Structure 1
């Protein structure tokens, strides 16, 4: 019986690694410049993956907020895709400095452990981390100073939450993340929020009517698309070469929408 359990665990672990292989391949074959940058403030250090576009002009910057498994290979590969589209992209590891044993996402023994740790983070710390990362990336020489925030799953929720805590970013791109439910917080939003949702994700989509009503009531811009047949995390699922048709179609449509919105911001 023990041998069966070991074999099943091994297969599960191997499948998980294979699921990220396409992201690793994409990163390793990218011609763009990647670097790890430490952003420090108040004695705290945040580890960040940064990707630069191949361009001769200054560009806006996109902060990429990872899913609830931390800064994994897919989050880094998406950051590189943003750079491929022509923008500086920075992905902070919000598990930075979690403990002496777990300094960053890759230190955790499993993605489940990373997920569990994320849900214990102090929301105010997350806000301050994002402030520091925004300040850093808006001031790199290759940046125009304009910053957009995009997040996925847990990161989508943090993106929407950050919109209530900062008046600096130009826009917020919320990919299948829950919305704030505090009217006083929503009133603080000062930039457009764009939502990207999968049709088969009612856990998240059930909250859309309430936030839409609040955003309209307070005169805030909130525009969203719901992609037919797609479930939660369709951006990651749709990147997989073996993706189902609905996930791939949703990912491609959302990607084109995102690029279009970024182009509008820089015009």
Structure 2
């Protein structure tokens, strides 16, 4: 009994020493991981975004590069279209910086503080050169302007003769001397309104006189329908009458999808 106890105690001691060593190594490794994480750059620093941006969107004035950061090439591009020595409030929008505020009343006049860009010289009503001035603008965003105050790209890839009438994404640019809030280049959904030069009166006249030979369909660029009418003698007159009605109401149009003149 005594010999068995003596042989068991040394084994138990070695087991305890081994477990203690493993525990010490594990605690040392854990402390190194914690210290490394706490000393990392992303701990204890604020977010790179301002707190206002985290709480919700804030309307600010358009971001304009400082005059010192404008490259000579960019300066030459806008100074070439900016009249020198003219009235400050008559300068094109690309020639000035304005501190637009979006808390004005829609469609009401509002005054904003502006200054000419680097290299642009202008004068006030008294004839003295000014570095800052007040500009009176109707409070509205650029995309809210009257269509006559901006130009939009045209698309010839959409069908104008369709129900419902199709639209396309147009890129619009505000005219130079028009001042407005927001971006001066914007996107709009416009109706397809291009024309290939086909006249409605000509198509209708051909349909009434030579529709039995497919002349109206040939004129509109619809060759297969024109050949069908030609070899069927206008569908024995029935197809001819139907085309007169369809072209008369504008349901049948040019094959390229454009509008009549």
- Could you tell me the TM-score, scaled by structure 1's length? 0.19
**Which structure: greater strand fraction?**
1
**Which structure: greater helix fraction?**
1
- Could you tell me the TM-score, scaled by structure 2's length? 0.19
